[in-house]
Amino acid sequence: MEDNRALGKNSMRTIYGGLLRPEHAGQDVSLCGWVQRLRDMGNLVFVDLRDREGIVQIVFNQDRPDLLEAAKKLRQEYVVAVKGPVRKRDPRAVNKDMATGEVEVEARDLRVLNAAKVPPFQVADPVQAAEDLRMKYRYIDLRRPSKQRAIRLRHEAALRTRNYLSSQGFLEIETPYLAKSTPEGARDYLVPSRIYKGRFYALPQSPQTYKQTLMISGFDRYFQIVRCFRDEDLRSERQPEFTQIDIEMSFVDREDVYALVDGMLAALFEVIGEKIETPLPRLTYEESMDRYGTDKPDLRITGEIADLTREAAGFQPEVIRKVLASGGVLKGLRVPKAAGLSRGQLDKLGEKAKECGAKGIIWLKNQNGFKSALKLDDAEARTIWEKTGALDEDLVLLVADRCEVALPVLGFLRKELIPPQSGTKFAFTWVTDFPLFEWSDEENKIVSVHHPFTSPRAEDIPLLDSEPLRVKARAYDIVCNGYEIGGGSIRIHDFELQRKVFSILGLSAKETEEKFGYFLEALGYGTPPHGGIAMGFDRLTMLLAGEDSIREVIPFPKTTSALCLLTGSPSEVSEKQLDELGLKLKK
């Protein structure tokens, strides 16, 4: 494909300076960009000129004393236009660290297009500024090469997604942002209606009901790269608005979704030259919890949780006996080469385990005999040691508790203590067969694990009335390096079944009608079997860009406390605006 960036042509610029290479030597070029750096050697001035594609050296010399003097007055981040011939550098002056390091441009013309105040931090990688400062001056932060790269990668990933899905027969269809509440388990962002005072639009938590409605309308294969809005307490990897690759398809089963997404991920990771082997591996939710203590396992980390419950049946220590007697379990994890952890460090781990809900952890070492905080006899210790596959320099961590506590605690410690294997860059897995419902202590009722439109497995439908918490869903997540990067399900397309699920979730007929009236009605007008998925586009781009926070790949992100430090939103509004909306603030 022709590289159109090289053309970059317009009246002020003939090429991006960052693209100049030895083959351009001899050409007269017009460049535009920002002053990265200036070195004044008296009768010679070097200016590093930065544009979107990189940095190139401009030389001002005594052939043009007027320009030399003008160049001396340039400052960091001034915006300039330069004209002149490209020439090869003297071999001794070649800079191997710069892509343009074999060439430079000899200035024959210089125009200052704009001056700049001294920037609050240098435009350079790695950045030497705290995140808050970067966010306040995001426009300067985004000038850094790594940011330019990340945002471009985002564009390339979006383009690749569109091309791939279009090639598979999908249509990109927009759905409203001023919408009715869509349930994804978070709080809605509300937008007051001026025309209908006292009524509100909700910004969609996802286009879930719309995309299902499109299936009812016969569009068959839909996608959209779409913004979603969720007013949740933010953790580091959440944003109040984020982008999904949203997909829905008709007349399909789970295998169709897996195959589509496997292909899409392979296409996306090709953007960074990574070959992803497909089909991607799969784990059921139960397997994932049993082996890794989480539904988002990082499979770059080797090592699995061992179940010691059966072996521990005759163990003497009272804590273990008590837990087992009340139906609990004993689970263990081998932490390679961690025998050197000090008492203090082990105590800290114990504290962390407590934060995760455990009563504590038991550790076991085997250096000149077994050592543990717990009085295990030699045979007991050996059983544990062998079952977890531990070696001399290792540490074994044990949790005796209810299964729902023991597994996540060890899952957390696995991620915390065992580094990922160095050879594997990206480890994907599908996690399938999630429970349809879970118990929420907070709400004191049954809630959906995914959302209420998720279909139960056909074989579990008889359990809906008797044992709803045992019903498995036709739902799946796709996980990479311990991040959930997507999730979806085959949906309920039967009116009666949908109504039943709403009622199990404790919605009265009236609430169902208010919240989902149109949708339930639509289900009755010829709904095809359908299913889909949504992929977290920010997170995917983060993985592609090799960043460790989604904020790094979102042009204008919010802070973890939902503020935009650049614009100062959210902000107060005028009395007049409130009046127009029929709103009054509580004092």
**Least CB distance from residue 561 to ligand ASP, whole Å?**
23
Closer Cβ to ligand ASP, 15 or 449, answer by number: 449
Residue 208 interacting with ligand ASP (CB under 6 A) = yes
> Measured at CB, which residue is nearest to ligand ASP?
206
**Least CB distance from residue 499 to ligand ASP, whole Å?**
19
Amino acid found at 528: P
Closer Cβ to ligand ASP, 103 or 226, answer by number: 226
Amino acid found at 373: A
The count of chain residues that interact with ligand ASP, using the rule CB under 6 A, is: 10
Closer Cβ to ligand ASP, 265 or 301, answer by number: 265
- Token pair of 336, please? 């390679």
Contact (CB, 8 A) for 414 and 305:
yes
Closer Cβ to ligand ASP, 214 or 305, answer by number: 214
Residue 212 interacting with ligand ASP (CB under 6 A) = no
CA–CA separation, 423 and 330 (whole Å): 32
Residue 219: exposed, middle, or buried by beta-carbon count in 10 A (0-12, 13-18, 19+)?
Answer: middle
Closer Cβ to ligand ASP, 492 or 534, answer by number: 534
Among 206, 250, 294, 388, binds ligand ASP (CB under 6 A): 206
**Least CB distance from residue 532 to ligand ASP, whole Å?**
5
Contact partners, residue 184, CB within 8 Å, separation at least 6: 205, 206, 208, 228, 230, 451
- Range in contact with ligand ASP (rule: CB under 6 A) among 410-418, 457-465, 529-537, 564-572: 529-537
Among 53, 106, 141, 184, binds ligand ASP (CB under 6 A): 184
**Least CB distance from residue 430 to ligand ASP, whole Å?**
14
Among 488, 490, 519, 551, binds ligand ASP (CB under 6 A): 488
CA–CA separation, 75 and 79 (whole Å): 9
Strand segments (E) across 254-344: 282-284, 305-307, 329-335
**Least CB distance from residue 158 to ligand ASP, whole Å?**
18
Residue 534 interacting with ligand ASP (CB under 6 A) = yes
Helix axes 403-417, 285-292, angle to 10 degrees: 60
Among 489, 512, 527, 541, binds ligand ASP (CB under 6 A): 489
DSSP character at residue 483:
E
- Range in contact with ligand ASP (rule: CB under 6 A) among 88-96, 107-115, 372-380, 486-494: 486-494
Residue 536 interacting with ligand ASP (CB under 6 A) = no
**Least CB distance from residue 487 to ligand ASP, whole Å?**
5
User: What are residue 238's phi and psi, to 5 degrees?
Assistant: -120, 150
Closer Cβ to ligand ASP, 450 or 515, answer by number: 450
Closer Cβ to ligand ASP, 150 or 533, answer by number: 533
Site for ligand ASP in 381-410 (CB under 6 A): none
- Range in contact with ligand ASP (rule: CB under 6 A) among 280-288, 328-336, 414-422, 526-534: 526-534
**Least CB distance from residue 187 to ligand ASP, whole Å?**
15
Closer Cβ to ligand ASP, 450 or 558, answer by number: 450
Residue 532 interacting with ligand ASP (CB under 6 A) = yes
Strand partners for 483: 480
Enclosing H/E stretch for 539: helix 537-545
Site for ligand ASP in 263-322 (CB under 6 A): none
**Least CB distance from residue 513 to ligand ASP, whole Å?**
22
**Least CB distance from residue 247 to ligand ASP, whole Å?**
7
- Token pair of 118, please? 């001294």
Dihedral sign for Cα atoms in the order 563, 569, 573, 577: negative
Enclosing H/E stretch for 208: helix 208-216
Closer Cβ to ligand ASP, 212 or 481, answer by number: 212
Dihedral sign for Cα atoms in the order 229, 230, 231, 232: negative
Amino acid found at 160: R
- Token pair of 63, please? 């052939």
CA–CA separation, 150 and 256 (whole Å): 31
End-to-end CA distance of the chain: 62
Pattern 445-484, ligand ASP, x by CB under 6 A: -----x----------------------------------
Residue 131: exposed, middle, or buried by beta-carbon count in 10 A (0-12, 13-18, 19+)?
Answer: middle
Closer Cβ to ligand ASP, 182 or 309, answer by number: 182
Enclosing H/E stretch for 475: strand 475-480
Strand segments (E) across 362-413: 362-366, 370-372, 395-401
Query: In Å, what is the CA distance from 464 to each residue of 363, 476, 516?
Result: 42, 19, 21
Query: In Å, what is the CA distance from 426 to each residue of 389, 479, 540?
Result: 26, 10, 11
- Range in contact with ligand ASP (rule: CB under 6 A) among 59-67, 85-93, 266-274, 487-495: 487-495
Closer Cβ to ligand ASP, 207 or 360, answer by number: 207
CA–CA separation, 157 and 168 (whole Å): 16
Q: With CA atoms as reference, report the closest residue to 240 among 562, 468, 567, 478.
A: 562
Burial 372-382 (b: 16+ CB within 10 A, else e): bebebeeebbe
**Least CB distance from residue 248 to ligand ASP, whole Å?**
7
Closer Cβ to ligand ASP, 297 or 487, answer by number: 487
Closer Cβ to ligand ASP, 20 or 533, answer by number: 533
**Least CB distance from residue 85 to ligand ASP, whole Å?**
55
- Range in contact with ligand ASP (rule: CB under 6 A) among 114-122, 134-142, 527-535, 577-585: 527-535
Enclosing H/E stretch for 249: strand 241-250
For ligand ASP, the binding residues (CB under 6 A) are 184, 206, 208, 450, 487-489, 532-534
